[in-house]
Structure 1
Amino acid sequence: MSSWVLPGAEFDELLRSFERRAWRWECQGTYRQPDEAEPWRRWRAGEPDDLRWLRPWLDEVAAATRTGRLVSRVRVFGEPPTEYQRWQLDVSPANVAAGEDIRVLPQAEADELGLPTSDFWLFDETRVALMHYEDQRFAGTEIIASPREVNRYRAWREIACDHAIPLMVYLHDLPQRSR
């Protein structure tokens, strides 16, 4: 059983209401989110970033992890990373500092492993929020609660986590990779 949830308050509630674990599979090379447009522009111009725009998310992650809940994701990166991904490499250490476990999986390896090409969140092992994008912008979420379907996403999560590199290790190894 699945249903369509429009972006906004309903999806934000999913991110706030999970009980144990929220895990994201993030596999688009570029996201064009309105709240990221100005920070990305500043980064491209070499201007400093105080990460104020990211503070609501960082606060949510910190609050969740203080209560023992897990927030984690695996990001699929091209080699070399796209311009958007290079920006994310610069800002994501703040996510890690807030308590989010971020890992990176090279695109070629994700392809070899047969992992999905659509982003999703897996909440508490029981619900999947399959994310839809139009022109690299978040367009909405399909909620999947069928145990059989959710198990498929759980299996993909396990495969991705088994092969992904912790963000800080990836950053350390980046000089050896083509950037």
Structure 2
Amino acid sequence: MPLVPFEEITHLFADFEHTAFRLETRRGYATDREGDRFKAFMRGIDPQPAPDSPWNTNVRDKAAQGARFSRVRIVDDPPTDGQRFLMAAASSNIAAGEDIRVLSRYVAGTAGLPDYDFWLFDSRLVARFHIDETDTTVGMEVTEDPADVLAACRARDTAWPLATPSATVWAQVR
């Protein structure tokens, strides 16, 4: 299946009708490490809320339409700097209406969750990330293949009840 640039799937975040679910499996992401907020975090400065970011504006708009964003982040014990940053920065997304939860890598492994990141839209379309060894997204694989969609739905349905709200975990880790 051909890969497409992430920019070619961004319309899916506005176009979905009911649910957008993300499974995050990486120990860090290059885009985070390259950003000023991450660099400040590494100097001990908490990420500033970004309520008017395009992401959070879209989350609020979709929530007002009755749609739901959710994600499960798999984290190590102890969490990596990248995972700590994502938990610290989650409050803006949560305030906008996104439900973000955290699951230990050990539990994810015993539950048989996949080791790759994806978005699942309306339980009918999967956008799987292809990420290189530097944690850079090199492309997206988009499919409506029933077997791939079913696998993503099963991963979501397995991960969600095992995960803990991000704010709860961040309060313990912090």
- TM-score, normalised on structure 1? 0.88
Cα distance in 2, alignment partners of residues 48 and 93 from structure 1: 11
Please name the residue that 1:45 is paired with: 43
% identical equivalent positions: 32
Alpha-carbon deviations, 1:98-125, whole Å to 9, x = none? 1000010000000111110000000011
Please name the residue that 1:145 is paired with: 144
Q: Is the 8 A contact 1:72 1:102 kept in 2?
A: yes
Please name the residue that 2:98 is paired with: 100
What's the RMSD between the two structures over aligned residues? Answer: 2.0
Counterpart amino acid of residue 50 in structure 1:
Q
SS in 2 for 1:92: helix
Give the Å deviation of 1:141. 0.5
SS in 1 for 2:10: helix
Please name the residue that 1:13 is paired with: 11
Please name the residue that 1:23 is paired with: 21
Give the Å deviation of 1:128. 0.3
| Structure 2 unaligned blocks of 5 or more | none
Alpha-carbon deviations, 1:132-166, whole Å to 9, x = none? 11210111100111112211110111000121111
| Structure 1 unaligned blocks of 5 or more | none
SS in 2 for 1:74: strand
SS in 1 for 2:26: coil
Q: Does 1:56 align with 2:54?
A: yes
How many residue pairs get matched? 173
Cα distance in 1, alignment partners of residues 166 and 64 from structure 2: 21
SS in 1 for 2:66: coil
Please name the residue that 1:84 is paired with: 82
Please name the residue that 2:69 is paired with: 71
Counterpart amino acid of residue 86 in structure 1:
R
Cα distance in 2, alignment partners of residues 70 and 151 from structure 1: 19
Q: Is the 8 A contact 1:36 1:53 kept in 2?
A: no
Give the Å deviation of 1:77. 0.6
Structure 1 runs, 4 residues or longer, greater than 6 Å off:
none
SS in 2 for 1:96: helix
Counterpart amino acid of residue 163 in structure 2:
A
